[in-house]
Amino acid sequence: MRHSRRNRILLTGGVLAGLLGLLTINAGAMHIAEGYLPVNWCLLWGAVCIPFVAAGFLSIKRRIDAAPRAKILLAMCGAFAFVLSALKLPSFNGSCSHPTGVGLGAILFGPLTMAVLGLIVLLFQALLLAHGGLTTLGANTFSMAIAGPIVSWLVYWLLRKAKAPASVAVFAAAALGDLFTYVVTALQLGLVNGGMVKFLAIFAVTQVPLAIAEGLLTVVIFNVLEKYSRAQLQELRVL
């Protein structure tokens, strides 16, 4: 009893601090800026996201019910995304971008969970930091909170099925999910404006080294969890 109460306090503290972190997230968000997608596209991407986010809420509840002790890891996945998206890194083409940090959560909790966490992140960014935007929220949610995490999750499971070592699978999953987020962003802008290659050059090329960095950092966290939190990872069916 005492133990579970302490857990709940920790979880609450973690979530609250996480929300505080969200408030300040990411003035450099490399997302589609406010007002830069036509109205019908904004509505379309918004509509596409709704079922994913709804399923995400259910998925979080189901996973936490199945593995209550994993709550603290969920809080950490959120926090990891805050840290990584605060790190605006220089890239070799002379511009800056930042990792997304959603790969870790997608590997541990599945892609639907990240649809919810990512949406919250993007919402606060749009409201408080003038990055991304409310009108482009649907498009940005689709790229960062849905498409990227789905790729991460698929890559992780495919590599695990192929008997790749866990750390290799984690690296590839996080890096490719990160990269794919920005490929989707480029496609979204290219569909509307033409000039697909130009947007790919801006977003995806900038992102290559950052995706590698995100992959490495995700492995750092995973290494520690694999050694000390093996039971929980097994509960979540990650290992």
Q: How far is the CB of 215 from another protein (least distance, A)?
A: 9
Q: Quick one: which of 59, 100, 113, 135 contacts another protein (CB under 8 A)?
A: 135
Q: How far is the CB of 119 from another protein (least distance, A)?
A: 17
Q: Quick one: which of 80, 142, 153, 180 contacts another protein (CB under 8 A)?
A: 80
Burial of 58 (0-12, 13-18, 19+ CB in 10 A): exposed
Q: How far is CA 29 from the centre of its chain?
A: 13
Q: Quick one: which of 131, 147, 150, 238 contacts another protein (CB under 8 A)?
A: 131
Length of the chain: 239
Taking the C-alpha atoms of residue 148 and residue 238, their distance in angstroms, rounded to an integer, is 18
113 is an interface residue for another protein by CB under 8 A:
no
134 is an interface residue for another protein by CB under 8 A:
yes
Nearest C-alpha neighbor of 104 from the set 50, 59, 69, 148: 148
* Binders in 13-72 for another protein, by CB under 8 A: 14, 17-18, 20-21, 24-36, 38-39, 72
Q: Residue 199: helix, strand or coil by DSSP?
A: helix
Sign of the four-CA dihedral 90, 182, 187, 35: negative
Contact residues for 224 (Cβ-Cβ < 8 A; gap 6+): none
* Binders in 139-178 for another protein, by CB under 8 A: none
Q: How far is the CB of 82 from another protein (least distance, A)?
A: 3
The residue type of 101 is G
Q: How far is the CB of 54 from another protein (least distance, A)?
A: 25
H/E run at residue 122: helix 111-128
* Binders in 194-233 for another protein, by CB under 8 A: 194-195, 198-199, 202-203, 206-207, 209-210, 212-213, 216-217, 219-221, 223-225, 227-231
Q: How far is the CB of 198 from another protein (least distance, A)?
A: 5
